[in-house]
């Protein structure tokens, strides 16, 4: 093997989605040598037409993206979420008056988070990665990991020597499977439908989470002034709608006008008339829990390590919390001149991330089970429970801090 084909770095990240890319940007910013690999070319910089996908970025994730130099590169200001309304309901029925109302101003000077379009985040990430060695598209032919170090062999013959390999390739992570790490999958027997719609009346930065008999329905406020909307429909929101597979198939087969009517039935009339914009996306819903987060010189991040029900839009935020913890540990090790792939460092990463993620997974699962039950006594108890939490300030603050990704305890 010629020296030309041998590359060296400290950390090799496989998978350039939002989690892998933000980890690469965070490490580079902190002076840690990093390479980012992906099977696909990075999505092009020019903005395609709005494709309907957007992320709810919690306050803790925003802090990470700021530290990584990504947030300030967003092409337009994201939409703040100032309030969250949680209600129990049924399609075509007005939402129950017994509801839970969170106001970010009661907890912090910051909003709960921001709605960021997927394409806007990609543009910012690509800009942040301009100084980072990115190899994409490449195929990984082999990964060898030993106590002494790791080598990643590419299909084109190049070999990367590194101290740590990070698996960021998503739910079906080949690196996780190759390491023999078992993953338990929980099928919700639901399809999630995701997209965006324009509407007549302003949303005032209020998100709505409705618990319907077959699954949750969320409306999330998008920033005004982006390139969607017409004079008649000047505002826009994203939706996440979980329903049974047969109902979802029927809904997805409708034309835009029919789908917009069904959205309106679930939403109520507070936003006026609504009209679908961009594409509709759908995927089967399941939760995922891994037996362990690490192996010899390997760390799992993002969907490679966990999957939760999108009931509170926390999936990507959990991935960003992985990035924040791992970037801190690696930057400290690099500053101290210690091994970035040491078993003790990887054990600390798992110890810091696993309890938080497991709590979120179990919490989302419990909520999903509780709220996808239309048995009348359960519905009544649920509604009274929502209203009760609404009247206990300490409990509400704890829920609100969780939504911001700050945890129940003060961030320390």
Confidence category of residue 6, pLDDT binned at 50, 70, 90? very high
Tokens of 256: 């835009």
Closest CA to 209 of 9, 403, 14: 403
Question: How far apart are the C-alpha atoms of 214 and 98, rounded to whole Å?
Answer: 20
Contact 120, 74 (CB under 8 A): yes
Q: Give the containing element (helix H, strand E) for 317.
A: helix 315-336
Please give the pLDDT value at position 411.
Answer: 30
- The whole-model pTM stands at 0.87
pLDDT, tens only, 32-58: 999 999 999 988 766 667 777 889 898
- Close Cβ partners of 331 (under 8 Å, ≥ 6 residues apart): 27, 30, 31, 32
Looking at residues 64-86, what average pLDDT do you find? Answer: 92
Q: Specify the residue for token string 């993002």.
A: 302
Q: Is the peptide bond before 195 cis (omega within 30 degrees of 0)?
A: no
- CA 287, 292, 295, 301 dihedral sign is positive
Q: Specify the residue for token string 């925003």.
A: 62
Q: Could you tell me the CA-to-CA distances from 314 to 113, 114, 361, 387 in Å, in that order?
A: 11, 13, 10, 23
Looking at residues 10-16, what average pLDDT do you find? Answer: 98
Question: How far apart are the C-alpha atoms of 174 and 193, rounded to whole Å?
Answer: 26
Q: Specify the residue for token string 């999936």.
A: 315
Q: Residue 83, Cα to own-chain centre: how many angstroms?
A: 19
Please give the pLDDT value at position 369.
Answer: 54
pLDDT, tens only, 141-197: 999 999 999 999 999 999 999 999 999 999 999 999 999 999 988 888 889 899 999
Question: How far apart are the C-alpha atoms of 301 and 324, rounded to whole Å?
Answer: 11
Write down all domains in the chain, each with its CATH number in brackets: 3-42+129-182+291-371 (3.50.50.60), 78-115+186-287 (3.30.9.10)
String of DSSP letters for 83-120: EEEEEE--TTSPPPS--EEEEGGGT-SS-SEEEEEHHH
Q: How many angstroms separate the first and last alpha carbons of the chain?
A: 48
Question: How far apart are the C-alpha atoms of 122 and 217, rounded to whole Å?
Answer: 26
Question: How far apart are the C-alpha atoms of 153 and 342, rounded to whole Å?
Answer: 21
Please give the pLDDT value at position 375.
Answer: 53
């Amino acid at each position: 093997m010629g020296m030309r084909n041998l590359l060296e770095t400290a950390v090799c990240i496989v998978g350039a989605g939002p989690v892998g890319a933000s980890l690469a940007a965070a490490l580079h910013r902190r002076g840690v040598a990093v390479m980012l690999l992906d099977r696909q070319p990075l999505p092009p910089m020019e903005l395609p037409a709005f494709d309907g996908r957007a992320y709810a970025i919690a306050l803790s994730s925003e802090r990470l993206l700021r530290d990584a130099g990504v947030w300030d590169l967003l092409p337009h200001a994201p939409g703040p979420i100032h309030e969250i309304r949680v209600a129990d309901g049924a399609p075509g029925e007005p939402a129950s008056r017994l509801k839970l109302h969170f106001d970010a101003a009661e907890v912090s000077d910051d909003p709960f988070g921001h709605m960021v379009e997927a394409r806007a985040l990609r543009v910012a990430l690509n800009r942040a990665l301009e100084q980072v060695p990115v190899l994409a598209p490449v195929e990984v032919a082999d990964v060898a990991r030993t106590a002494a170090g790791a080598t990643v062999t590419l299909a084109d013959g190049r070999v990367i020597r590194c101290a740590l390999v990070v698996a960021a390739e998503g739910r079906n992570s080949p690196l996780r499977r190759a390491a023999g790490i078992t993953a338990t999958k929980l099928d919700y027997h639901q399809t999630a439908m995701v997209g965006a719609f324009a509407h007549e009346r302003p949303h005032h930065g209020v998100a709505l989470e409705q618990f319907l008999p077959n699954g949750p329905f969320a409306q999330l406020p998008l920033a005004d002034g982006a390139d969607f909307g017409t004079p008649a429909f000047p505002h826009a929101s994203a939706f996440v709608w979980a329903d049974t597979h047969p109902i979802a198939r029927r809904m997805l087969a409708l034309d835009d006008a029919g789908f917009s009517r069904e959205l309106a039935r679930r939403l109520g009339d507070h936003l006026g008339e609504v009209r679908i914009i961009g594409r509709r996306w759908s995927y089967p819903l399941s939760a995922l829990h891994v037996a362990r987060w690490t192996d010899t010189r390997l760390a799992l991040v993002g969907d490679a390590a966990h999957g939760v029900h999108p009931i509170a839009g926390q999936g990507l935020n959990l991935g960003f919390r992985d990035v924040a913890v791992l970037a801190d540990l690696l930057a400290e090790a690099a500053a101290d001149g210690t091994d970035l792939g040491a078993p003790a460092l990887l054990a600390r990463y798992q110890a810091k991330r696993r309890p938080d993620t497991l709590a979120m997974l179990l919490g989302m699962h419990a909520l999903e089970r509780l709220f996808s039950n239309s048995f009348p006594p359960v519905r009544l108890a649920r509604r009274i429970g929502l209203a009760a939490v609404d009247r206990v300030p300490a409990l509400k603050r704890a829920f609100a801090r969780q939504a911001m990704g700050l945890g129940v305890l003060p961030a320390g």
